[in-house]
Amino acid sequence: MPSKSEVLLSLLKGQKVIPVLKIDDIAHAVPLARALARGGLPMIEITLRTGAAMEAIRRVAGEVGEAIVGAGTILNARQFDEAAKAGSQFIVSPGLTRDLLAAADGSAVPLLPGAITPAEIMLAGEAGLDFLKFFPAEQAGGAAFLKALASPFAGTRFCPTGGINVRNAGDYLALPNVACIGGSWVAPDDLVKAGRWDTIEMLAREANALGQR
C-alpha cells in the first residue's frame, strides 16, 4: 500500500507549479480554477486565509471536475476535518502538530505539512512523512538552504512556497529534492478581482512550461 506521501506525489502528475490561492469573493472560485486547469495547472491550493475559502473549496470540488483542489493554511484537526468534508483532495499545513498527525492518520486525505529545520524534518520522517512543505522558503534560507538539506535527507522531497516567483522559480526546480513549488504569482489578486481569466490562463501556461524545462 502506498504511503500518504506517495499518494500526494501521485496527485501531482508531473505538475511542478502549484498555484497558492487566496479567494476573497466566492464567485471567483470556479472560473479561477477552470482558467488554471486550462493553462495546465489543475492542482491548486486554496488557503484558509479568508472567510470564503471553505465554500470556495466546496464549489471547486463540486463543479470543476478537472481540478485537484487542496486546502492550505490548515492549523488544527478541526480545520483538517472540515476541509476534507468540503472536498479537499489534499491538506497543506505550515507546520506539524500531534493533533494534525492524528487527523491525518484517521483520514484518507494526504497531508503536506511544513518543516524547515532538521529536527522538524526528522520528526516528520518518524511519522512516515517524507514529502514536506518548506515555508516560508525565501525567508528561511531559500534554494541554497534546501540544496544543503539534500544530502542528509536524501529520501525527503519538498514543495517550497513563500517568496517564490517567476524570477527565482528555476533555482528551486533545479534542486533534486524539490518535487514542486507553490506560488501566488500565477493568479495575482488584481487579475482575480478583475476577472481576467484569459490572462491568468496565460500565466498558468507560462508557469507550466517553466516546470517542464
| Residue pLDDT tens, the chain, 213 long | 788 899 999 999 999 999 999 999 999 999 999 999 999 999 999 999 999 999 999 999 999 999 999 999 999 999 999 999 999 999 999 999 999 999 999 999 999 999 999 999 999 999 999 999 999 999 999 999 999 999 999 999 999 999 999 999 999 999 999 999 999 999 999 999 999 999 999 999 999 998 776
CA pair distance 29, 52, nearest whole angstrom: 9
The alpha-carbon radius of gyration of the chain (Å, integer) is 16
What is the pTM (predicted TM-score) of this model? 0.96
At a CB cut-off of 8 Å and minimum separation 6, what does 137 contact? 143, 146, 160, 161, 162, 163, 164, 172, 181
Pair 38, 206: CB distance under 8 Å: no
Pair 158, 173: CB distance under 8 Å: no
Please indicate whether residue 133 is annotated as part of the active site: yes
* Identified catalytic residue from 4, 16, 22, 133: 133
Domain boundaries, the chain: 4-207
CA pair distance 137, 154, nearest whole angstrom: 19
CATH of 4-207, one of 3.40.50.10260, 3.20.20.70, 1.10.340.70, 1.10.150.120: 3.20.20.70
* Identified catalytic residue from 16, 22, 45, 201: 45
Residue 89, SS3 per DSSP: coil
